[in-house]
Amino acid sequence: MKLVQHHYGKARVRVMKVRRQGVRHSIKELEVSVMLQGNFEASYCDSDNSLVVATDSMKNTVYILAKEKLGEENEEFGLALAGHFLKTYPQVSRVEIGFSERTWDRMAPDGRQHAHSFLQKDSTRRIAKITQSRTGSQVESGIEDLLILKSTQSGFEGYVKDQFTTLAETKDRIMATSMKATWLYTKAPPSYSCANREIVDAMLAEFAGNYSPSVQVTLYQMGEAALKAAPEISQVSIAMPNKHCLLVNLSPFGLQNQNEIFVPTDEPHGQIEGTISRD
C-alpha cells in the first residue's frame, strides 16, 4: 500500500477584528482555513508525529497574525499567513489559505454613518484562496451567495425537444441565481479591495443591461466584463444555479397570469458553470 496524496490543517477558524481609528471603528469577520502539504507521510504511515504542526497551533497562528497583520485586504493577510508557515516550518512545502468574509455595513439611524454600530444587509460573502509554495504564490479572489434577479429581459428558446420535454419556450421570464464567482490574479493590483469591487460592478452591469437568451450566454458575458474591468486577472470561474420562478396557473379561477404571480423554488435547479480566460 502507498499513500499517494496527503494534506491537513484547520478549517472554519472564525475570527473577528475590531479596528479602531479613534472613535470610529470598523469590523472584519472572517472564516479561515489553513491546509499544509509537506513531509508528513510518517504521521500517516508510521505513527510518527515528530514533524506534525498541531492544528490547534494553526488556529492560534491565525489569531496572532490577525492582531498583527489583518487589515482591509484579505489577500495580503493570506499571503502573510502562508509565508509564516513556510518560514517557520521547513517540513512544509505548500500552504493553502482560504477565506470567507461576512460583511458588516454601518448603521445610519439619523442619515449619518454611525461610528461603531453595524448591520448585515445580505448573505453575500467575499472569498479568497491563497496558495503559496517555496517557488511562488497564487491569489484567487471572489464572491459567493450573491443573490441577483431580473424580472424580465430573459428567455429560453430553441433547446432540444424530445419525448421527455415538458418545458415551454419563453421570451420573457424571471432570471434569478445565487452566484459564485472567483478570479485568478496574475499580478497584484494597487488594491485588491478596489479591484474586486470593480470586477463585481462590471459583472452586475452586464447582468442587468442585456437581454439574456440563456444563463450560459449571460455567464459568458459577465466573465468577459470581469476580464475587461481588471487587467490583473487572467481568468474568471462562475457558477450560476438557476433559481426557477414558476408561473402559477390561475386559469381555473378565471384569471390571467401575465407574468405577475410566481412560485420561487430552490430545488431542483439548473446548475450552469463556466470558466472564461484571456486568449
In the chain, the domains with their CATH numbers are: 8-135 (3.10.270.10), 145-277 (3.10.270.10)
Indicate if 177 belongs to the active site: no
Indicate if 116 belongs to the active site: no
Options 28, 59, 180, 244, the catalytic residue: 244
Options 55, 103, 114, 131, the catalytic residue: 55
Options 10, 59, 129, 180, the catalytic residue: 10
Indicate if 161 belongs to the active site: no
Q: What is the pLDDT of residue 111?
A: 87
Print burial letters for 141-180: b (CB count within 10 Å at least 16), e (below 16): bbbbebebebeeebbbeeeeeeeeeeeeeeeebbbbbbbb
| Band (187; pLDDT cuts 50, 70, 90) | very high
pLDDT at residue 121 above 90? no
Q: What is the pLDDT of residue 37?
A: 97
Model pTM above 0.85: yes
Share of the chain above pLDDT 70, in %: 100
Q: What is the pLDDT of residue 110?
A: 85
